[in-house]
Structure 1
Amino acid sequence: MMAANLTPVEEAVAHLLTQAPVITESESLPLTECLGRTLAQDYQVPADVPPADNSAVDGYALRAQDYTEGQSLPVSDRIPAGAAPRPLEPGTAVRIFTGSEIPAGADTVIMQERVEVTDTGIRINTDVKADQNIRRQGQDLAEGTLALAKGTKIRSQEMGLLASMGVANVTVTRKMRVAVFSTGDELVDPGTPLGPGQIYNTNRFTLLGLLAEAGCEVVLCETLKDTRSVTRETLEKAAAQADLIITSGGVSVGEEDHVRAVLEESGELSLWRMAIKPGKPLAFGTINGTPVLGLPGNPAAVLVTFLVVGMPYIRTCQGRLQVHPVGQQVPAGFAVTSPSVRKEFVRARTELVDGKTLVTSYSNQSSGMLSSACWAGGLAVVPEHVTVTEGDLLTYYPFTELLS
């Protein structure tokens, strides 16, 4: 049975996504500045790509039926890339280069490695057939078709595709504005000597990196003192500036865990405690209408819960087409002998073992072990209430996919 008062992961994520307001504001940016952003509109193809038939190789263009095996075919012209070709003279070939437009009358290109240059022209050392080595007009994109849909994340390949259509400025969804707060009087910033009972603020920098990779803009970033009044005032201030507030720590059951209490007293708490390992004490609610995602305080739990819960929420707010990672099925290279009531996201990586690709786990899965995530390449999922034997198939999510 599910542990009392723990929300299953899928149910928790589904709840958050129903509460995710999609950002409708957009901006126009130069194509060079659009990497990682989300398209705010569909992009139709304005003209065929490529705009004309062109050569896929360096070689010679001709009409296939003009060539007889063993003959020497005269060369009548030379067409460099970027030049407008003259029509092919019947019974001849033309020297052509990769990307050069195919002259009218030619229907094939023979790559130069298959051609012998003679005193009278060229002799071909391969079969000559029509349509060889020609990239046809509209082969990549046909005029009037949908090239990229609204909600697509712009990667390097989307930048290239937009460029191929002549798009210089792109309409993208504005960046999601996020406020980040760490809680705890024991936290100090790197570069400051540690005093008794103090630790460095790990979670701030983990979250700043994750949010940058997620394409968000951080509008506030502070460490909260462990008082109810400061927590309330800071969250209310952030609510006026941010689309989302993310906290780390302060959502468990301790006397100094004020984030959850403030949401209950001054806002709304709609989710608390999730059946996930690591990261059980996770909270979600609102303050002054602004969503608040309260992550656990342990460093590895912050990373895992952000990736599993926070990223689908952010993608939904960004209007992304792909909200959930797909994952891959990989045989386990480790065993789990004691089933858990919580779904476990194991810091793991794929390795080649005896010729087989297996997903192997870090030896210490403590929620405080952030070094495990540096060793790992992603997260392997061990469902609740199951044991794992080596060789069992597990769902594995590479970090690159969890953050894509």
Structure 2
Amino acid sequence: MPATGGHTRPGPTGPPAGSAAIGQDDRVRTVEEHQAVVAALLAPLGEEEVPVAAAHRRVLARDVPAAVPLPGFDNSAMDGYAARSADVAALPVRLPVADDIPAGRTGVLPLAPGTVQRIMTGGLLPPGADVVVPVELTDAATDVVEIRDAPTAGTHLRRAGEDITAGTVALEAGSPLGAAQLGLAAAVGARTLWVRRRPRVLVLSTGSELVEPGEPLLPGQVYESNSLLLCAAVEDAGGTARRLHFVPDDVDQFLATVRAELADADLLVTSGGVSAGAYEVVKDAFRTLGTVEFVKVAMQPGGPQGAGTVDGVPVVTLPGNPVSSFVSFEVFVRPALRRALGHAAPGRLRAPAELTAPLRSPAGRRQFLRGRYDAGRVSQVGGPGSHLVAHLARANCLVVVPEDVTELPAGAPVDVVLIEGALQ
């Protein structure tokens, strides 16, 4: 179906007020400052109409009003007998079964005084009935039933509109569409939904030392993993990712590869080549364009960062160590993508926790430590090293230690960011 409200790319942006010039990295930026820079690169994404069945894990772009009430009619919440409470006030009692009402029957007879009608869960309540007697309180007969006990009037009934009334907003724009939301959309009569278009993200890892997994390794070489990690992170955030083959540390080849692939991209994410040493191909190449700014951010891991545009396409450059790349994506790229998608709550779920052991943190840098969170307590997983990817794989949260904290004892309260199994 046709898309509307197409994505508008921002033009090349200069550094924020008070920052260093494009291409300089002698200024230290706060985490919040760099989050704002990255978020500003991505404009809200356009809308498209898709079938409800194709909307799983998308983000709703328009409110969904209920075309019908839920329930749509008075019905039974139990298998049993529709009765008048006055007829079952004196117990036990034997009453003739005047009719059978299975679920799905569209027409029923009024309930005559002194009778009951056998009814199944979801069955249309006959006019005159004001209680359903569960079958367990009877002898389950189909001609004349003996009722040994009965609930009070109004029990085991589902009244029309008690869940939602017709015309009420069933789902609000900005809602992530999981199983429950899609079930509600279908239940109120929606056949299609207007959702945000998924951002198209190019992911490129750089480095002459990188080798495709499974190939023989020579001394000094490592298997390339960041692009797979980042593509999965993009998909988890709601985007579509395309992995570019990494290129050697050659500026001209890097720029040619990037520019040849940008036409259909909403965002380019690179990893590696942004530190302070020699042979930093991403920094060297983008500095020649003058539209990408490289800075240090007061955090660990993930201090070296870059953001800007190339040929009008937003670009975020991340460090090359796997843990630094992952944490940087979580802190900067994921919330920006989700905000562009229209998420009402773009951030990860956070929770307070109590440390199981003491920890240390460098002064002046916000620390994001890998942790295991369980029942309000959190333990650190491995050390702070940005190369410890096995420890990252065992973590289910990031423990956030503020810049002005250098030591915390066991039992101290901390803030954790939940990173395992979270969809919103």
1:29 aligns with 2:50: yes
Matched, 1:48 2:66: no
- 2:149 aligned to which of 125, 136, 141: 125
Aligned: 1:341 with 2:360: no
* Structure 2 CA distance for aligned equivalents of residues 234 and 267 of structure 1: 18
Is 1:38–2:62 an aligned residue pair? no
Going from structure 1 to structure 2, the CA distance change for 1:42 and 1:117 (only over 3 Å counts) comes to closer
Residue matched to 1:64: 85
> Structure 1, residues 87-125: CA drift from partner, whole Å, max 9, x if none?
111222211111111111111212222334468423132
Matching residue of 2:167: 144
2:219 corresponds, among 179, 196, 201, to 196
Which range moves more in the overlay, 92-101 or 212-221?
212-221
Structure 2 equivalent of residue 5 of structure 1: 27
Does the Cα contact within 8 Å between 1:267 and 1:288 map onto a contact in 2?
no
Equivalent position to 1:158, from 156, 163, 181 = 181
Which SS does the other structure have where 1:282 is aligned?
Answer: strand
Could you give the per-residue CA deviations for residues 241-269 of structure 1, whole angstroms, max 9, x where no partner exists? Answer: 21000000011112211222333321423
Deviation at 1:22, TM superposition (A): 0.8
Are 2:81 and 2:134, in contact at CA under 8 Å, matched by a contact in 1? Answer: yes
Alpha carbons 1:8, 1:275 under 8 Å: kept = yes
**Does 1:246 pair with 2:269?**
yes
TM-fit CA distance, 1:297: 0.4
Computed over aligned residues only, the root mean square deviation of the Cα atoms, in angstroms, reads 2.0
Contact 2:76 2:122 in 1 (8 A): yes
Q: Indicate the larger mover: 233-242 or 52-61.
A: 233-242
1:224 counterpart SS class: coil
Flag as ranges the 4+ runs of structure 1 deviating above 4 A.
Answer: none
Shift of residue 142 of structure 1? 1.1
Aligned partners of 2:228 and 2:95: how far apart in 1?
A: 68
Task: Give SS of 1:94's match.
Answer: strand
Q: Does 1:362 align with 2:381?
A: yes
User: 2:9 corresponds to which residue?
Assistant: none
Rate the CA distance shift 1:273–1:338 in 2: closer, same or farther, 3 A: closer
| Equivalent residue pairs, number | 396
* Match in the other structure for 1:398: 418
TM-score under structure 1 normalisation?
0.92
**Residue by residue, what CA displacement relative to the aligned partner does 1:134-162 show, whole Å, maximum 9, x if unpaired?**
11111222111111122221111111111
Superposition deviation, residue 403 in structure 1:
5.1
1:379 matches 2:403: no
2:40 equivalent among 18, 31, 35: 18
TM value normalised by structure 2: 0.88
**Cα pair 1:267 1:285 within 8 Å, conserved:** no
Once residues 219 and 241 of structure 1 are traced to their aligned partners in structure 2, the CA distance between those partners, rounded to angstroms, is 11
Farther-moved stretch of structure 1 (283-292 vs 217-226): 217-226
Letter in 1 for 2:401: V
Q: Distance in 1 between matches of 2:178 and 2:45?
A: 20
Task: Measure the CA separation in 1 of the matches of 2:198 and 2:270.
Answer: 19
1:198-252 Cα deviation digits (max 9, x unpaired): 1100101111211222222224522022111122222323332210000000111
Letter in 1 for 2:82: A
What is the deviation of 1:61?
A: 1.4
Could you tell me how far apart the structure 2 residues matched to 1:117 and 1:237 are?
74
The Cα of 1:367 is off from its aligned counterpart by 0.6
Q: Distance in 1 between matches of 2:279 and 2:125?
A: 74
Query: Contact (CA 8 Å) 1:75, 1:121: kept in 2 or not?
Result: yes
Q: Which runs of 5+ in 1 are unaligned?
A: none
Distance 1:105 1:260 in 2: 78
Contact kept, 8 Å, 1:49 with 1:140, in 2: the verdict is yes
Contact 2:398 2:419 in 1 (8 A): yes
What amino acid sits opposite 2:95 in the alignment? L
Are residues 402 and 121 of structure 1, via their aligned partners in 2, closer, same or farther at CA, if it must alter by over 3 Å? closer
Equivalent position of 2:138 in the other structure: 115
Instruction: Name the SS of the counterpart of 2:28 in structure 1.
Output: coil
| 3-state SS of 1:241 partner | coil
Q: Distance in 1 between matches of 2:418 and 2:209?
A: 33
Residues 402 and 346 of structure 1: CA distance in aligned 2, closer, same or farther (over 3 Å)? farther
> Are 2:111 and 1:105 aligned?
no
Distance 1:170 1:337 in 2: 49
Which of 224, 230, 233 is the matching residue for 2:253?
A: 230
209, 213, 216: which one aligns with 2:239: 216
Are residues 360 and 302 of structure 1, via their aligned partners in 2, closer, same or farther at CA, if it must alter by over 3 Å?
same
- CA displacement at 1:292 relative to structure 2: 0.6
> Does structure 2 retain, via aligned residues, the 8 Å contact 1:220–1:238?
no
Letter in 1 for 2:87: D
Contact 2:355 2:412 survives alignment (8 Å)? yes
1:245–1:292: 8 Å Cα contact kept in structure 2? yes
User: What's the offset of the Cα at 1:50?
Assistant: 1.6
Structure 1 SS opposite 2:359: coil
User: Is residue 2:96 matched to residue 1:74?
Assistant: yes
Specify the code of the residue in structure 1 equivalent to 2:409: T
- Partner residue in 1 for 2:11: none
Question: Does the aligned pair in 2 maintain the 1:179–1:246 contact within 8 Å?
Answer: yes
Supply the distance in 2 between the matched residues of 1:218 and 1:325 (Cα, whole angstroms): 20
- Structure 1 counterpart of 2:387, one-letter code: G
Q: Secondary structure at 2:39's aligned position in 1? A: helix
